[in-house]
Structure 1
């Protein structure tokens, strides 16, 4: 395997080989080119960071900006003009704007507030499992892994139940578009539809506010002027999008890997108190966030002896950092009893000021999903273990998730 910009660009195009096993590729880069220049399809000069220590430092490096307006030309070449209106949020900003926007929604995602959602999440989990066929193959992604977090986040935001499927469809279109003309048109239309939807929903909630997060944000916007109107729309989109995609893929990845590692599943079933630690290990081993969202260098920056020039884009390979043997013993092994598996050891939820706001909710949803699923269907098995997993092929390796998860929940003896 050669380490060249062209080789990385091939990985960026998400070839089936790369999608099947990105970890072997990242292992090579960590040794040969830990900060590797790329030529991705969008044409912007980009550097990929793969080592744990570098990744952790880069995630909180103020020289690597998240403010998309500072790199607007590059941003438009990658995402187009239609994305700008939806990306005026905390994910794409630096302090003090990031601090202000994050403060507006932080109270809804504190561990205490999230724990109060446990009964409702339990109810949703049981209802979804009730609807699943037990003796015949079922794709657990559309039947269980995706509906659970979309219902939870829509409840939290105040999105009506009849609109959940539309939200999921539109956000999937936004997440999985490529660089072709037809794909870009689909992406633009989906983004315009989402912007129009949340604009309409905000108008409706101004007239009839409810006991939900979006109504609370509207009240802040209208009374304190702490949010602009576009920040309000964009924040609603971000919470909906980020609040279900990553959790859904995490649940799918976790179920697949536990079923593929029966000794690990058996250890978890015999020791339910391991569930929290097991979720952290599953996030580390093959979490749903493969790469952090783009940053760009506001000045020349050096990592591992490589100069990242001012203006270059930077991608941080979370999946690679979480398999770095300099940080984790036997990193390519799944071990639900891994010692010292502290919640801040892996970078699956990020690090620094942009640490995932919804991490407590994602953890709780995943813990309950796994616990109730395997308690209710202890003999669950992959529908066709010999077939191997089929992973998503996406234009940017941002998400790491399965395209399908066919299982039999209660196979015949």
Structure 2
């Protein structure tokens, strides 16, 4: 196949691993079509991705480096527009990225995440008690009853999200990752998100607490002088002041000194990024780890024998089924010669296949599709990104998964999958996880066990 002739990415993620293998086979980068007819370069080899993810010639700022977005050729009507229209650290470039990441990193430290272990243990214990009481020895959907509930409670408590917002946010987040929805559905979902987020920020401004939302609000508000309110981005933002896509940002601006504060939109978009990624990533990861051990009892036996740790399980689960399969989008600031006759042109969008890196045979060998907790390369994945955009929530996600999986198999040592055959997966080429995980719990372990 000619890699200059694009093939369409499956919007519903029907077989992402076969698709990733196809991308790898085409060379260092190959043309693909995204939902909505947007053309991009897909990169699927681990070495090429690692190189691009630290290359200063690669940006995530569509407003500065994607000509089709700047001109309006691709706009808010694109079903995936929210992935590039948000203004937070994940879409920022250079010094702007450092400015937007700084307050989030200060609030979301590895130490703070590690300090959540007692609460994680407590919530896991409560969920396991509920499972044992409501379905003694019976079949349950572990995604709904366990994997979903743990990060919901932890992340939403961490961000101080009031319970009345939990249901609406779950619905919005699910649609956020549904890459098969129409443009109209996507725009309606974005509008719903605006309403919920405005309510959350207003609530936390009235009732600040020891949570990350309050911390970020404080970082934004204390850096804002109402007498000289300016948007911290305006000094370097190349977009015209009349661009309607900047209106919401400029109207709510107040960043203080250049490089210091957050505009109101940047505050909201940073919150969206942090708790959306924190929730979806953990749900998918916990489901994958449980599923792989349930269908590979010999691997579970290695852990029980002390030959592998629960942390090894987490890393191998991250490698074989990254919670997010593709990362979109990045843009070439200038022409990038990828080798083998492939040049990504200035302004071209780039699709990074994190899921492909985990099964790259050049890194993980010919059996890269096999789950193996003793695999020497289990930690050599890109499931939390790489370089400046490495995920701030990686420590928390790993901790949640390790505790959840350990405690589950300690409580239900004879648990088994309910039924046979392949399980359905979420309909997305970005989010990568099981739609359900039906399991027969079996008898609960006795205290003596």
Identify whether the pair has TM-score above 0.5, normalized to the shorter chain. yes
Other structure's SS at 1:316 match? strand
SS where residue 315 of structure 1 aligns? strand
Contact kept, 8 Å, 2:423 with 2:434, in 1: the verdict is yes
Q: 1:164 deviation in Å?
A: 1.7
The one of 391, 401, 404 aligned to 2:436: 404
Structure 1: runs of 5 or more not aligned: none
Residue 192 of structure 1 aligns with which residue?
191
Q: Which residue of 1 aligns with 2:223?
A: 224
| CA positional deviation for 1:168 | 1.1
Give per-residue Cα distances to partners, 1:157-186, cap 9 Å, x unaligned. Answer: 11013322221111111211425xxx3333
Q: Deviations over 1:188-228 (max 9, x none)?
A: 22221221222222122222211111111111111113111
User: Which consecutive residues of structure 2, in runs of 5 or more, have no partner in the other structure?
Assistant: 225-260, 445-449
2:126 equivalent in structure 1: 127
Give how far 1:292 is off.
Answer: 1.6
> Would you say 1:391 and 2:425 are equivalent positions?
yes
Runs of 4+ deviating beyond 4 Å? 2-7, 80-85
SS in 2 for 1:293: strand
Task: Measure the CA separation in 1 of the matches of 2:28 and 2:81.
Answer: 32
Alignment root-mean-square deviation, CA? 2.2
SS of alignment partner, residue 39 of structure 1:
strand
Match of 2:115 in 1: 116
Contact 2:143 / 2:283 at 8 angstroms: preserved in 1?
Answer: yes
8 Å CA contact retained: 1:107, 1:113? no
The 8 Å contact of residues 88 and 100 in structure 2, kept in 1 or not, is answered as: yes
* Aligned with 1:249 (options 265, 284, 301): 284
> Displacement of 1:393 after TM fit?
2.0
2:23 aligned counterpart, secondary structure: helix
Deviation at 1:387, TM superposition (A): 2.5
**Aligned match for 1:33, one of 27, 30, 38:** 27
Asked if the contact 2:89–2:270 (Cα under 8 Å) also holds between the matched residues in 1, the reply is yes
TM-score, scaled to structure 1: 0.90
Whole-Å separation in 1 of the counterparts to 2:209 and 2:354: 38
With normalisation by structure 2, the TM-score equals 0.83
DSSP 3-state at the match of 1:302: strand
Deviation at 1:26, TM superposition (A): 2.6
* Bigger radius of gyration among the two: 2
Deviation for aligned residue 1:90 = 0.7
**Counterpart selection for 1:51 from 20, 45, 54:** 45
User: Is the 1:250–1:283 contact (alpha carbons within 8 Å) kept by the matching residues of 2?
Assistant: yes
SS of residue in 1 equivalent to 2:326: coil
CA-to-partner distance for each residue in 1:227-264, whole Å, 9 max, x for gaps?
11111111111112111011101111111111111111
The one of 335, 344, 347 aligned to 2:372: 335
Say yes or no: does 1:379 pair with 2:414: yes
Where 1:339 maps in the other structure, the secondary structure is coil
Tell me, what secondary structure is at the counterpart of 2:384? coil
1:341 is displaced (CA, Å) by 4.3
Q: Deviations for 1:316-353, whole angstroms, at most 9, x for unmatched residues?
A: 111111111211233222111123544xx211111000
Shift of 1:3: 6.4
Q: Point out the more displaced range, 131-140 or 282-291.
A: 131-140
Match of 2:353 among 285, 298, 317: 317
8 Å contact 2:59–2:331 — kept in the other structure?
yes
Question: Taking structure 1 as reference, are residues 177 and 45 closer, same or farther at Cα in structure 2, changes over 3 Å only?
Answer: closer
Contact 2:337 2:344 in 1 (8 A): yes
Contact 2:332 2:345 in 1 (8 A): yes
- Counterpart among 139, 149, 166 of residue 147 in structure 1: 149
- Which is further off, 105-114 or 92-101? 105-114
Which whole-Å deviations, capped at 9, do the CAs of 1:108-161 have from their partners, x for residues lacking one? Answer: 332221111001111111111222223222111111111111211111111013
Distance 1:297 1:122 in 2: 44
Matched, 1:174 2:176: yes
Q: Using the TM superposition, name which of 197-206 and 228-237 deviates more.
A: 197-206
Query: Residues of 2 paired with 1:83 and 1:190: CA distance?
Result: 13
Kindly tell me the number of residue pairs found equivalent between the two proteins: 397
- Residues 338, 223 of structure 1: alpha-carbon distance in 2 compared, 3 angstrom cutoff: same
Matches of residues 291-306 of structure 1 in structure 2 within 5 Å?
A: 291-305=326-340, 306=342
Please give the secondary structure, in 2, of the residue aligned with 1:327.
helix
Question: Is 1:65 aligned to residue 65 of structure 2?
Answer: no
Alpha-carbon distance in structure 2 between the residues aligned to 1:120 and 1:349: 23
Higher share in helix: 1
* Closer, same or farther: CA 166–129 of 1 in aligned 2, 3 Å: farther
Query: Does residue 200 of structure 2 align to residue 163 of structure 1?
Result: no
Write the deviation string for residues 41-61 of structure 1: whole angstroms up to 9, x where unpaired.
Answer: 322221111111001111222
SS in 2 for 1:244: helix
Answer whether contact 2:319 2:358 (CA < 8 A) is retained. yes
Of the structure 1 ranges 208-217 and 75-84, higher mean CA displacement relative to structure 2 is found in: 75-84
Counterpart-to-counterpart distance in 2, 1:7 and 1:298: 22
